[in-house]
Amino acid sequence: MDRMEEACGVFGMFAPGQNLAQLTIFGLYALQHRGQESAGIAVSDGENVYVEKGMGLVSEVFPDLEKLGIGAGLAAIGHVRYPTSGLGRVENAQPLLVSYRYGSMAVAHNGNLVNAEELRLRLEKEGSIFQTTTDSELVTHLIARFGYKNLESSLKGVLPYLHGAYAFVFLTEKSLVGVRDPLGIRPLSVGQLNGSYILASESCAFDTIGAEMIRDVNPGEMVVINEEGLQSVQLLPSSRTALCIFEFIYFARPDSNINGRNIHLVRKELGRNLARENPAEADIVTGVPDSSLSAAAGFAEEAGLPYEMGLIKNRYIGRTFIQPRQEIRNLGVQLKLNPVQKVVDGKRVVVVDDSIVRGTTSRKLVSTFFRAGAIEVHLRISSPPVLSPCYYGIDTPTYEELIGSKRDIEEIRKEIGATSLGYLSKEGMLSAACLPEESLCMACFTGEYPV
């Protein structure tokens, strides 16, 4: 995969008497783009907490909504996980459910603790055993060892030990708790439906179940939701925010809102700014489906060029499709993306994509357009060059593999074979997001890590 890839999506809901298993699954359907490796839910009926999870898409793990082992309850959490290589074991599927001194606790996590290894070694020295390689298990160990009867009190003690990016949702027999790291690197929002509170990585999950978004969970904030309502505690001081900029560029669904701004509209603005900064003498503009279509439409509008479907994505080539052998591929089989010859033939084409990671996909993309008859291919990227890997839960290649880390733009253009290549500037990106630099994590573009 030659993409920055999201690590996970989390969901939580406190709504006594509702069919929480089904509602949580619907929330996960809305968050499925954030992770397709495994899916799971945990539901509390007020007395016990139950978990159901497995490998695959939400629709594969929960094929029959009427046959769930668990149904109505008090509260529930859910999780979808992205397939990071090597760790795709069912044991790592979340939520993780443990029992400890004070009962049951389920937890789901989006993010990455940078000091996980260190914490794990310390716990192992003290005699802990580990059944998974997840940060979630680490956190449950710490909570259990802190030993307060009250999960909230334990979290107060545990959080200072966690360094990195995290958005956790916890479920106990009686309550739902959400926590976000003090820089707010990974997103987490609060929504409401008929008086019930909901937590989700993205606001599209609220829409899906008919709920409304209330606000983002603040960096360093813990929200505790139980029979008495929602209580907010600022667990850790937070001097700044450092939300992952890639949520705007690529991760989030176009219908989600972050910081009050709609993702589709931000991406369209990214495209407009890109057209202003890097115009092209061209005949048509086209985007790479699905993530770059908004930016391409923005580019086209700003440039006054026709916006066309130059590339069609086959919706039926699934996650588990195994590429045919070389002998078949040599025939020119292109199953997933098909260039539209009649659209691009004889044309000077602006192709808008969201980012270049290794560059291999971009090279194929450019040659695909040339083979389809394009006379010029102007590649425009709606973000700056990716210079540095991410340590906060996003699957990125090493410095060596990042095409942007050691080459200037002309060198990249040559490697990729485009007629021209233009990246959006940092400023153009920030102005589209309407956010000051100090409120975002842009480490992959700048090498300056907020933690």
Q: Two tokens at 413?
A: 């253009």
| Residue 128 within binding range of its own copies, rule CB under 8 A | yes
| Residue 341 within binding range of its own copies, rule CB under 8 A | yes
Amino acid at position 115, single letter: N
The distance of closest approach from Cβ of residue 254 to its own copies in the complex, given in angstroms and rounded to an integer, is 5
Nearer of residues 146 and 370 to its own copies, judged by Cβ: 146
| Residue 210 within binding range of its own copies, rule CB under 8 A | yes
Query: Residues with Cβ < 8 Å from 291, sequence gap 6 or more?
Result: 250, 354
Contact between residue 350 and residue 282 where contact means Cβ atoms under 8 Å apart: yes
Dihedral sign, CA of 231, 235, 239, 243? negative
Nearer of residues 255 and 415 to its own copies, judged by Cβ: 255
Site string for its own copies, 33-72 (x = CB under 8 A): x-----------------------xxx----xxx------
| Residue 87 within binding range of its own copies, rule CB under 8 A | no
Nearer of residues 352 and 390 to its own copies, judged by Cβ: 352
| Interface residue with its own copies, options 96, 155, 198, 435 (CB under 8 A) | 96
- Window 387 to 426, contacts with its own copies (CB under 8 A): none
Question: Whole-angstrom Cα distance, residue 440 to residue 451?
Answer: 12
Q: Which one of the spans 135-143, 170-178, 398-406, 422-430 is the region binding its own copies (CB under 8 A)?
A: 135-143
Nearest to 200 by CA among 189, 216, 186, 212: 189
- Window 97 to 116, contacts with its own copies (CB under 8 A): 97-101
Nearer of residues 42 and 421 to its own copies, judged by Cβ: 42
Q: Which one of the spans 141-149, 155-163, 232-240, 399-407 is the region binding its own copies (CB under 8 A)?
A: 141-149
| Interface residue with its own copies, options 172, 189, 201, 208 (CB under 8 A) | 208
Site string for its own copies, 254-273 (x = CB under 8 A): xx-x---xx-xx--x-----
Dihedral sign, CA of 270, 271, 272, 274? positive
| Residue 17 within binding range of its own copies, rule CB under 8 A | no
Amino acid at position 388, single letter: S
Q: Which one of the spans 127-135, 179-187, 358-366, 412-420 is the region binding its own copies (CB under 8 A)?
A: 127-135
Q: Which one of the spans 155-163, 317-325, 393-401, 430-438 is the region binding its own copies (CB under 8 A)?
A: 317-325
Identify the DSSP state of 66: G
| Interface residue with its own copies, options 8, 13, 23, 177 (CB under 8 A) | 23
Q: Two tokens at 45?
A: 């009926």
| Residue 141 within binding range of its own copies, rule CB under 8 A | yes
Dihedral sign, CA of 28, 30, 35, 38? positive
| Residue 30 within binding range of its own copies, rule CB under 8 A | yes
Question: Whole-angstrom Cα distance, residue 54 to residue 37?
Answer: 9
| Residue 195 within binding range of its own copies, rule CB under 8 A | no
The residue behind tokens 């959006």 is 424
| Interface residue with its own copies, options 1, 48, 118, 130 (CB under 8 A) | 130
| Interface residue with its own copies, options 339, 384, 393, 428 (CB under 8 A) | 339
62: alpha, beta or left? (left if phi > 0; alpha if psi -120 to 50): beta
- Window 273 to 312, contacts with its own copies (CB under 8 A): 290, 293-294, 297, 301, 306-309, 312
| Residue 4 within binding range of its own copies, rule CB under 8 A | no
Contact between residue 350 and residue 285 where contact means Cβ atoms under 8 Å apart: yes
Q: Which of 8, 204, 244, 390 is catalytic?
A: 8
Residue 450: Cβ within 10 Å count = 18
The distance of closest approach from Cβ of residue 238 to its own copies in the complex, given in angstroms and rounded to an integer, is 26
Nearer of residues 214 and 409 to its own copies, judged by Cβ: 214
SS3 83: coil
Contact between residue 147 and residue 155 where contact means Cβ atoms under 8 Å apart: no
- Window 216 to 255, contacts with its own copies (CB under 8 A): 253-255
| Residue 173 within binding range of its own copies, rule CB under 8 A | no
Question: Whole-angstrom Cα distance, residue 149 to residue 132?
Answer: 25
Contact between residue 285 and residue 305 where contact means Cβ atoms under 8 Å apart: yes
The residue behind tokens 């769930």 is 68
Q: Two tokens at 239?
A: 């001097």
Q: Which one of the spans 28-36, 41-49, 216-224, 389-397 is the region binding its own copies (CB under 8 A)?
A: 28-36
Site string for its own copies, 342-381 (x = CB under 8 A): xx--------------------------------------
136 alpha carbon, distance to own chain's centre = 17
| 8 noted as active-site residue | yes
Q: Two tokens at 106?
A: 């389920």
Residue 332: Cβ within 10 Å count = 7
Please report, for residues 58, 73, 114, the alpha-carbon distance to residue 26 in angstroms, rounded to integers and kept in the order given: 9, 16, 31
Active site residues: 8
